[in-house]
Chain A
């Protein structure tokens, strides 16, 4: 199960944070800081997995943005690594060539996309097409 998802830039600024477990605000901030510190200086050659307390963080860097997912210790790392990629593909599709700016100014939309992709800490929809269609439908309502 996914515990939380973070999008952070290299300075550690949170671009998106979604928690699937109840946490205190102070705890969230601490955790965002720690995760950033863990991933930011890792050699790109190294594994994309880091032990984090009793869980592990699967992260992937896209340009200056780190996408980190905290999952259970027994979870299949590569699957989550690929689901991060799938999420980025969806974002890319939605924003037509996504860049950090898109995410900064449209963070609320990113949250909506994430809600279509992951629900209650599990991947709920793995079809890019289905998610894009759902988002398009929502856009039409505006």
Chain B
């Protein structure tokens, strides 16, 4: 019986019109030993096809085969565009078979925008009018793929006509075509669809109705309101489906038309959202679906999941929510990863309505978080992200960062880094924690975070908590300095983080006296040295060194530059980057001044202070007056000048206006040359964090008293800059202009210092937004206790200890806000680890099998229609005793035999040539026999898991089960044994029981 079946199959493969050549090709490609050989074979084939298809009078049947071969070549990843036109021609054929093949090929070859489409439109139009419904079907299939926005009108009338066709298959495809048109261009089919949606909806045939649901789903998602009146009819249809009123052939694994049910549920979710009346009508039927879905199979669970989605989307009903929650619990407790995944998703939906529901499932959630399955982990992190509050932010962000460290995919890494930053900014319980978290994010994903985040971080460190508490701020800074000195040990750090580190070390490295200036400078030099290619980091480093030095000088200490620092300065002085050069010269210039000047130039902790700038620049009045008296032109604000320019440029073609355009610029140059006063703005160049702010403030003098003060300062600034020209690009400027510098900077800094001394406590220019969250913390404390206990210490026996410890951490946090982050983490961690420790006890040892598959296997054994066919496999053969070299497990071994038998069955022609030859081991990786072996391999692994290792032979059997490679050797032996003439057969199990498990 088995033999007959196999012979039948082989005959079927051989007799389906494909020529021997083609079968040989498929076989040869299957057996190709290397990619190169495969390439060569395909290229040969392409060359051959190129010649053959242009020959005159190719028999049509033969041409059909050529087209199929073209499809094959394309599927292997080669270009077959030379033959597209032949495929197009084939669609014109009258023979249905050839036509179908032509349509199949063009749908695979061409995109909707391809040039050749225009040649097919006419044929499609004709075929849509055909009497033969199979021709109509073929044309409609092509329509779905090939028609684009522009060509819709050409076929629309025919497609609409076919909606009333007597064959349901045609109606169904016509509806799908309309659906496609609607996706492509809703406007072109809007009126047709709105007219027909009701009529076709009530088609007697379930599959036509099901196709309509696709269209309706799209329409309703776009505009639910116009379809609300249909709610009842959908409810009614769903009810009928659930009650098995549809023909039995739509059942799938005993569930009544589940695919239709799910489409209906999706539509109901849309209609019920925010509509209490509509939702009321659905409650009954949703309850029915939930009740009747069988939780033992995938499809039942798919229904249940879709029900949960609908229940959580519509106006809530407590009873339904309860059962939805119960089902979600079941998902989460399941052994199957698929179900857990669905459970996590469902949980995310339910907690939107009832946040408390998460509490019960904390262990399951943590379980999923720990899972090695990436998909599940990500889904869980997504859930945690949704449920983050200030009370659990530390644990959750910690988890996210841990996971981030393991990622290599930059797309997802960016995503998760930005989520971490967002959560940290929104919910940070303390500044220390925030800084620590940010450091970690920078460390592991530094290149992927926007620079703004780094600037915010520096600002936070400079401004502290924004409260009147200097001690707290300096403690914060000390801890930041400490943490950065630690981080610097790491060999590879992203540029952005290094910039932050340099800046913080420069500002606060020596502030608390723990570290000597020399030490800090040495570290800064190390940073610069380790990143020779990064000019930005070097710039930050040299500025930081400048600041450290100036603080020392201001404090009256003598600064001895260590040799490497001197070398660094020398290197930068000769740098190609003018910016770096400037900074180096500034540093050197600094040593020339005495302590009071230096202290005024770079006051300690000056970054967060506002610089008061007298915008009228009174110290220049004298100079301006003298220049005016000498006949210089009065200053014209840039905006006025620009207005003139743009006006002129509008008439650029006219000679007169172009003449007037030239007028201004040629007159001017003398003034900038005369007014050139080199001013190096050491201060503004140097303080990196508020650089832009300060720079604008420094450069915001109002030059001309006549200009109204309300005039945009920005524009005036441009004028001043031009007046001051380009001195900063002059190498000698720093030293040569020392006097001027002293006077200008001295003036502004004098004001500065006044301001600083007066307003030191009140430096709250821009409070970071999470400060308010932090202030709220005491109110949240109760909630925090609860959540700390509930989320990560929730086993009842651990509950009070976790409450205690979280209470402790709370107390610490309130008594001393500046507890180090490490300490905070310590208080949290024990709870966390306890929760984790209890996990293994709480979860049963994982099953070897995927739960879902197991279920299906059960289902298949009980009700799968395939079973009848599988029965055919039962054979009378017995395991021969002469089988010492077949070291595979019982079941798979027999599968193997059955496949080999199928080869032997034909004995000649194609299949015998495919027969696994004795050189299997060499060509294993890359050929069809290899593929075959992998079928077997797969069978071995899967059924090995099912049946457990029933070892038949003593040689390497167990390893054959565990590892792929050793299977090859066993197969080799096996092949050899067959060569010798041993043809073992056995009681044939059902081959596709495994395949269809």
Does B458 sit at the interface, judged by CB under 8 A? no
Which A residues are CB-close (under 8 A) to B72? 107
Choose from B104, B179, B338 the contact partner of A78 (Cβ within 8 Å).
B338
Choose from A9, A17, A50 the contact partner of B934 (Cβ within 8 Å).
A9
Q: Quote the shortest CB–CB distance from A137 to chain B (angstroms).
A: 7
Q: Quote the shortest CB–CB distance from B369 to chain A (angstroms).
A: 14
Q: Quote the shortest CB–CB distance from A122 to chain B (angstroms).
A: 5
Does B551 sit at the interface, judged by CB under 8 A? no
Q: Nearest B residue to A53 by beta-carbon distance? A: B411
Residues 855-870 of B contacting A (Cβ, < 8 Å): 856, 866, 869
Does B173 sit at the interface, judged by CB under 8 A? yes
Query: Does the CB pair B211–A137 fall under 8 Å?
Result: no
Choose from A79, A83, A105, A122 the contact partner of B179 (Cβ within 8 Å).
A122
Digit string of B101-127 for contact with A (CB within 8 Å is 1, else 0)? 100100110011100000000000000
Query: Does the CB pair B249–A127 fall under 8 Å?
Result: yes
Does A10 sit at the interface, judged by CB under 8 A? yes
Choose from B108, B214, B869 the contact partner of A122 (Cβ within 8 Å).
B214
Query: Does the CB pair A78–B305 fall under 8 Å?
Result: yes
Query: Does the CB pair B992–A47 fall under 8 Å?
Result: no
Query: Does the CB pair A115–B995 fall under 8 Å?
Result: no
Which B residues are CB-close (under 8 A) to A55? none
Query: Does the CB pair B108–A50 fall under 8 Å?
Result: no
Does A4 sit at the interface, judged by CB under 8 A? no
Q: Quote the shortest CB–CB distance from B923 to chain A (angstroms).
A: 12
Query: Does the CB pair B104–A128 fall under 8 Å?
Result: no
Does B207 sit at the interface, judged by CB under 8 A? yes
Query: Of B255-263, B284-292, B489-497, B791-799, which stretch is located at the interface?
Result: B255-263
Which A residues are CB-close (under 8 A) to B823? none
Does B250 sit at the interface, judged by CB under 8 A? yes
Query: Does the CB pair A11–B104 fall under 8 Å?
Result: no
Which A residues are CB-close (under 8 A) to B183? 120
Does B144 sit at the interface, judged by CB under 8 A? yes
Query: Does the CB pair B305–A76 fall under 8 Å?
Result: yes
Query: Of B75-83, B322-330, B630-638, B806-814, which stretch is located at the interface?
Result: B75-83
Q: Nearest B residue to A14 by beta-carbon distance? A: B75
Does B533 sit at the interface, judged by CB under 8 A? no
Does B720 sit at the interface, judged by CB under 8 A? no
Does B66 sit at the interface, judged by CB under 8 A? no
Which B residues are CB-close (under 8 A) to A49? 338, 341, 375
Chain A: interface size category: 35 or more
Query: Does the CB pair B26–A105 fall under 8 Å?
Result: yes
Query: Does the CB pair B375–A134 fall under 8 Å?
Result: no
Choose from A97, A106, A111 the contact partner of B16 (Cβ within 8 Å).
A106
Q: Quote the shortest CB–CB distance from B138 to chain A (angstroms).
A: 9
Query: Does the CB pair A108–B71 fall under 8 Å?
Result: yes
Digit string of B162-186 for contact with A (CB within 8 Å is 1, else 0)? 0000000100110011011001000
Q: Nearest B residue to A56 by beta-carbon distance? A: B375
Query: Does the CB pair B13–A79 fall under 8 Å?
Result: no
Residues 36-93 of A contacting B (Cβ, < 8 Å): 43-51, 53, 61-65, 76-79, 81-83, 85-86, 88-89, 92-93
Instruction: Name the residue among B17, B262, B849 with the largest chain A CB count within 10 angstroms.
Output: B262
Query: Does the CB pair A126–B214 fall under 8 Å?
Result: no
Query: Does the CB pair A16–B104 fall under 8 Å?
Result: no
Choose from B305, B375, B846, B850 the contact partner of A51 (Cβ within 8 Å).
B375
Query: Does the CB pair B100–A92 fall under 8 Å?
Result: no
Q: Quote the shortest CB–CB distance from A71 to chain B (angstroms).
A: 13
Choose from A101, A126, A130, A141 the contact partner of B259 (Cβ within 8 Å).
A126
Which A residues are CB-close (under 8 A) to B253? 82
Q: Nearest B residue to A42 by beta-carbon distance? A: B373
Query: Of B189-197, B294-302, B687-695, which stretch is located at the interface?
Result: B294-302
Query: Does the CB pair A105–B71 fall under 8 Å?
Result: no
Q: Complex formed: what's the CA distance from A104 to B101 in Å?
A: 17
Chain B: interface size category: 35 or more
Query: Does the CB pair B176–A92 fall under 8 Å?
Result: no
Which A residues are CB-close (under 8 A) to B597? none
Query: Does the CB pair A98–B995 fall under 8 Å?
Result: yes
Q: Complex formed: what's the CA distance from A124 to B9 in Å?
A: 29
Q: Complex formed: what's the CA distance from A101 to B302 in Å?
A: 32
Q: Nearest A residue to B142 by beta-carbon distance? A: A115
Query: Does the CB pair B180–A120 fall under 8 Å?
Result: yes
Query: Does the CB pair A97–B26 fall under 8 Å?
Result: no
Query: Does the CB pair A96–B9 fall under 8 Å?
Result: yes
Interface of A is mostly: mixed
Q: Complex formed: what's the CA distance from A72 to B558 in Å?
A: 68
Does B605 sit at the interface, judged by CB under 8 A? no
Query: Does the CB pair B996–A77 fall under 8 Å?
Result: no
Q: Quote the shortest CB–CB distance from B967 to chain A (angstroms).
A: 12
Does A99 sit at the interface, judged by CB under 8 A? yes
Which B residues are CB-close (under 8 A) to A77? 338, 341-342
Query: Does the CB pair A129–B934 fall under 8 Å?
Result: no
Choose from B23, B77, B302 the contact partner of A76 (Cβ within 8 Å).
B302
Query: Does the CB pair B259–A79 fall under 8 Å?
Result: yes
Digit string of A109-142 for contact with B (CB within 8 Å is 1, else 0)? 1011001000110111111111000100110011
Query: Does the CB pair A128–B249 fall under 8 Å?
Result: yes
Q: Complex formed: what's the CA distance from A13 to B907 in Å?
A: 27
Q: Nearest A residue to B265 by beta-carbon distance? A: A76
Query: Does the CB pair B104–A108 fall under 8 Å?
Result: yes
Given that A45-B337, A86-B252, A105-B26 are known contacts, is A76 also in contact with B262, CB under 8 Å in the complex?
yes
Does B620 sit at the interface, judged by CB under 8 A? no
Query: Does the CB pair B100–A83 fall under 8 Å?
Result: no
Q: Nearest A residue to B910 by beta-carbon distance? A: A105
Digit string of A13-29 for contact with B (CB within 8 Å is 1, else 0)? 11111101011010001
Which A residues are CB-close (under 8 A) to B936? 63-64
Query: Does the CB pair B376–A101 fall under 8 Å?
Result: no
Q: Quote the shortest CB–CB distance from A1 to chain B (angstroms).
A: 8
Query: Does the CB pair B75–A17 fall under 8 Å?
Result: yes
Query: Does the CB pair B141–A47 fall under 8 Å?
Result: no
Query: Does the CB pair B169–A100 fall under 8 Å?
Result: no
Q: Complex formed: what's the CA distance from A76 to B995 in Å?
A: 24
Which A residues are CB-close (under 8 A) to B206? 127
Q: Nearest B residue to A60 by beta-carbon distance? A: B853
Query: Does the CB pair A44–B934 fall under 8 Å?
Result: no
Does B926 sit at the interface, judged by CB under 8 A? yes
Q: Nearest A residue to B903 by beta-carbon distance? A: A101
Q: Nearest A residue to B218 by beta-carbon distance? A: A1
Does B727 sit at the interface, judged by CB under 8 A? no
Choose from B76, B176, B309, B945 the contact partner of A44 (Cβ within 8 Å).
B945
Query: Does the CB pair B134–A138 fall under 8 Å?
Result: yes
The 3 A-B pairs of least Cβ separation, nearest first, read: A78-B302, A64-B934, A129-B249
18 A-B pairs whose Cβ atoms sit less than 8 Å apart in the complex: A45-B850, A46-B373, A48-B852, A63-B934, A63-B939, A64-B937, A78-B299, A82-B258, A85-B856, A99-B899, A101-B932, A102-B13, A119-B144, A120-B179, A122-B211, A126-B207, A127-B207, A130-B249
Binding site for A on B (CB under 8 A): 5, 8-9, 13, 16-18, 23, 26, 30, 68, 71-72, 75-77, 79, 96-97, 100-101, 104, 107-108, 111-113, 134, 141, 144-145, 169, 172-173, 176-177, 179-180, 183, 206-207, 210-211, 214, 247, 249-250, 252-253, 257-260, 262, 298-299, 301-302, 305-306, 309, 337-338, 340-342, 372-376, 378, 411-412, 846-850, 852-853, 856, 866, 869, 873, 899, 914, 925-926, 928, 930-932, 934-939, 941-942, 945, 991-992, 994-996
